Amino acid sequence: MNLAFIRYFLAVAETASFTAAAERCRVTQPTLSAGIARLEGEIGARLFDRARRAELTEAGHRLLPHARTMVEAWQLARTESRSTQRARLLRLAIASTLPIPATLSWVASAQQRAGFDIEISEGTADAVADRWRRGRCDAALFPVRRPIDQDELVALWREPYVLAAATGHRVATRDRWSVKELAATPFVLRAACEAQDDLERLFAAEGVRPRTVLSSADEERCGAAVAAGLGVCLMPRSLLRPGLVAAEIRDVALERRVVLAWRADADGDLVQTLRETALAHPWPGRRAGDARLAFAR
């Protein structure tokens, strides 16, 4: 059980608000919601009644005293440990367009194996890549559209961008669509999408300008809008969720590769742990052979 998820649970229980809890924990609301969902999956019960201002359910009330005990015990153990030896700190930057639950479970797996403290920052793919290049983080996980000539980097998986639609949407009835056939189809735009400029150029070249029903950098909100049937959305395969189906835009092949990069002077043991756990992790967008990806230099 990840202690971060317990902290998320306590923050929501004490504030009765997912938004306020996310601010207290210094994470995005989708990150906090994903953590709560993982915790509920491990507990096997709903912890909050979201229809009533995030009130605790009966299971949530039962967990509350145990959660406080776990956090207090961890803080005591951490204080005692640090009195004799300072823990290693890993500053990790993660692109906001990656699948959050899978990313968090990878981080937790690596942390459990190597026993380090961690500070996570989020941003667009470009912002995270820039943070890594400037040496402002120890490691970074982000997608790229073009090869990077760098030794301190490993490619984890390659995936296409697909046209996502709700199962009951018109677009879900076929596997492939032309740009002109999508002219009257409302779109949900992922504002942080690395392929957004390519999509806009593609539509402009065909003289097509579909209506936008939502433009947001919040991946959770965009996915929810598509699942509700408000519109379709271009998204990487790994962001598909239950209730969504994928189709192709005819004659278009957009893809990205997700890479793990690190500073040249980063802790070698930590880098090895990050590499090994990332390559072995069951990422939702990965297919057979992706673990052997390599960029041509």
Residue 63 belongs to domain with CATH number = 1.10.10.10
Residue with more model confidence, 295 or 79: 79
Range of the domain at 181: 159-255
Q: Based on the fold, state whether residues 181 and 237 are members of the same structural domain.
A: yes
Tell whether 231 is covered by a domain.
Answer: yes
What's the pTM value of the predicted model, to 2 decimals?
0.67
Contacts of 160 (CB under 8 A, 6+ apart): 236, 237, 253, 254, 255
Q: Are residues 141 and 172 in the same domain?
A: no
- Quick one: pLDDT band at residue 291, thresholds 50, 70, 90? very low
The answer to whether residues 8 and 53 belong to one domain is yes
Are residue 120 and residue 11 in the same domain, yes or no? Answer: no
| pLDDT, tens digit (0-9, with 9 covering 90-100), for 134-150 | 999 999 999 999 878 77
Please tell me the predicted confidence (pLDDT) of residue 1.
Answer: 65
- DSSP annotation string for 215-231: EES-HHHHHHHHHTTS-
Residue 229 lies in a domain: yes
Residues 167-193 as b/e (b if ≥16 CB within 10 A, e otherwise) read eebebbeeeebebeebeebbbbbbebb
Dump strand ranges (E) for the chain. Answer: 48-49, 55-56, 89-95, 117-123, 139-144, 153-166, 176-177, 187-190, 212-216, 233-236, 244-249, 255-262
Q: Are 40 and 46 in contact (CB under 8 A)?
A: yes
In this prediction, residues 15-25 reach a mean pLDDT of 90
* Res. 258: pLDDT tops 90: yes
Statement: residue 169 has pLDDT above 70: yes
Instruction: Note the pLDDT of residue 292.
Output: 47
DSSP, collapsed to helix, strand or coil, labels residue 45 as coil
Question: What's the number of domains the chain is made of?
Answer: 3
Mean per-residue pLDDT of the chain: 89
Say what percent of the chain tops pLDDT 70.
Answer: 92
Q: Which tens digits make up the pLDDT trace of 273-286?
A: 999 999 999 998 77
- Which residue in the block uniquely carries the two structure tokens 């998320």? 8
Residues 222 and 98 placed together within one structural domain of the fold: no
Instruction: Determine, yes or no, domain membership for 193.
Output: yes
- Reading the block at residue 80, the tokens are 């005692």
Whether residues 34 and 55 share a domain: the answer is yes
Q: Are residues 149 and 138 in the same domain?
A: yes
Instruction: Name the range with the highest mean pLDDT among 52-66, 181-195, 258-272.
Output: 181-195
Tokens coding 107 = 């981080």
Region 182-203 average pLDDT: 92
For residues 96 and 110, state if they share a domain.
yes
Q: Is residue 297 part of a domain?
A: no
CATH (domain of 242)? 3.40.190.10
pLDDT score of 289: 54
Domain end position, chosen among 58, 82, 106: 82
Residues 109 and 220 in one domain: no
In a domain, 100, yes or no: yes
Percent with pLDDT over 90 in the chain: 69
- Asked if 163 and 246 sit in the same domain, the reply is yes
Nearest to 281 by CA among 135, 126, 161, 112: 112
The pLDDT tens digits of the residues spanning 106-136 come to 999 999 888 888 999 999 999 999 999 999 9
Give 65-102 pLDDT, tens digit per residue: 999 999 888 878 766 665 544 568 899 999 999 999 99
